[in-house]
Amino acid sequence: MNEQTQDIEIDLLLEAMFRKYGYDFRNYARASIERRILHQLSKSGLSNISEMQGRLLADKEFFKRMLLDLSINVTEMFRDASFYVAFREKVVPYLRAHPFIRIWIAGCATGEEVYSMAIVLQEEGLFDQTRIYATDINEEVLQIAKEGVYSLENIQEYTLNYQKAGGQKAFSDYYTAHQDTAVITPSLKTHVVFASHNLVHDAKFNEMHLISCRNVMIYFNQTLKDRVLKLFHESLCPLGLLCLGSKESVQFSAYENQFDPLIKDEKIYKKKGF
Amino acid sequence: MKKFTRKKDFDAIVIGCSAGGMDALKHILSSLPINFPFPVIIVQHRHVDSDGYLAVILNDTCSIPVKEVEDKEPLRTGIVYLAPSNYHVLLEKNRHFALSIDEKVNYTRPSIDILFESAANVFQERLVGIILTGANHDGSQGLKRIQEQGGETIVQDPDTAEYNTMPLAALKTANVDHILGLQKISNFLNDLV
């Protein structure tokens, strides 16, 4: 397959997906989206991307399966233990100063990070004065997040992560084992609102003290990353905090000068005051 | 096998290694001069929890700077880039890095195949791909892709590798240009300067 032809086919496929179903992957990081599309193509038994486009336009179920593959980001509980250690040490004291705390977890996928943060806030005695808005573009993964039922297989790893992240209790306090699943304890859901929000097109919906968007913008291109950083900047209160993934930064973007690093190594930034 | 190519215009070098890779990398990277005119991008498998330690050690032993890849960072010559633990590394056509936390490939993240395949798409024949010591099969498909795109492929001589599984797998999958010991790989890279 000629490279240039394939590039055109991918452009057209993404355009079709947007025009027909309203999901816009046109400004996603190209190398990853290309890999995922080619992976789907080989699974589908179709012979090229143009054929996939035809199928996608005609068959909504096919599109739904494809959407799941294109938008799911792999996530885990307490990924990057050092982030949570820093969060307890430096971010919690900052949050404590507010009588009511609004946190936005943008791109929460299946919710593992939402519950990780809920656990930390509960242990620090802040959860009751907090509201977490957990959003994602994909309704199906939001449903999984809302249910909070995870594979028991992963719990051993999460338990280790939790301990390294400065956890104060037995991790088993936070779930009930049911057959081969771990069901998140209902108290961790009490101050969480799960909602559909599309970072590509949707606007600000509240003023936040902290926004966590970790390893989401790695899937966006520069244009989209700039757009999202603008949205976050608008959504944060003065001196509000922005948490990114450990290998992301506001560097290499148009918003580099709008944030100061609070904890440089953990990519926790503070919005500049006025 | 192709003829030994020298002074050809390359744009980047990619290296993949696993078990035993640290010593092999030290050997090769410490031989590179400070004015080495290409970026070098490395996937070395390691534990999920390992921090930037490997970059620090290699930085101390090399005259060219060694750093971990950051998302959306532009690729620059004369720098050795290491894939961070627990992330895949890809290259965009605009020669910026893109990280991903997609599923593990060949049971590992970062995966050598993912780096090699995306680098092959970007650089085509202007790429050198090198597979060193390792105890699994990651990298074979990526090296094959580099070869298909006309790039230069090198595999560490399995007899000299601390673990020979990875070199043997690569030799089985791709029709490589050179099978060399570490010293000869160093010579090859220095001859490109």
Query: Is B138 part of the annotated catalytic residue set?
Result: yes
Whether residue A63 has pLDDT greater than 90: yes
Check whether residue A28 and residue A156 sit in a common domain. Answer: no
* Averaged confidence pLDDT in chain A: 94
In a mutational test of the B interface, the residue from A5, A6, A32 whose CB has the highest number of chain B CBs within 10 Å is: A32
Active-site residue, selected from the candidate residues B11, B113, B138, B177 = B138
* pLDDT tens digits along A106-150: 999 999 999 999 999 999 999 999 999 999 998 889 999 999 999
Nearest-CA neighbor of A106 among A120, A117, A90, A119?
A117
A95 and A163 share a domain? yes
Q: Is a pLDDT exceeding 90 seen at residue B1?
A: no
Domain that holds residue A122: 81-271
Judge: B98–A222 Cβ closer than 8 Å, yes or no. no
Calpha distance A169→A176 (Å, rounded): 15
B157 is catalytic: no
- Mean pLDDT is lowest, of A192-196, B48-52, B94-98, for B48-52
The yes-or-no answer on residue B96 being catalytic is no
At residue B5, the pLDDT reads: 56
Give the count of Cβ contacts less than 8 A between chain A and B: 71
CATH of the domain at B37: 3.40.50.180
Kindly identify which residue of chain B lies nearest to residue A81, measuring between CA atoms.
B49
Query: Is residue A67 domain-shared with residue A101, that is, in the same domain?
Result: no
Q: What is the domain-level CATH number for residue A113? A: 3.40.50.150
CB contact under 8 A, B73 and A36: no
Q: Is residue A23 domain-resident?
A: yes
Given pLDDT bands bounded at 50, 70 and 90, which one contains residue B108?
very high
Name the domain count of chain B.
1
Give the 3-state secondary structure of residue A194.
strand
Considering only residues A177 and A70, tell me which one the structure prediction assigns the higher pLDDT.
A177
Q: Which of A246, A10, A220 is nearest to B92 (CA)?
A: A220
Residue A76 lies in a domain: no
Most confident of A200-204, B84-88, B141-145: B141-145
B30-66 residues labelled b (16+ CB within 10 A) or e (exposed):
ebbeeebebbbbbbbbbeeeeebebbeebbeebebeb
Let me know whether A100 and A64 are in one domain: no
Contact A251 B74 (CB under 8 A): no
Q: How far apart are CA A11 and CA A227, in angstroms?
A: 20
Q: Where are the beta strands (DSSP E) in chain B?
A: 12-17, 40-44, 66-68, 80-82, 88-91, 97-100, 127-131, 152-156, 178-180
At B18-57, the pLDDT tens digits run 999 999 999 999 999 999 999 999 999 987 766 678 899 9
Same domain (yes/no): A106, A11: no
One domain, residues A98 and A171: yes
**Domains of chain A: total:** 2
Chain B residue with Cα closest to A75 = B101
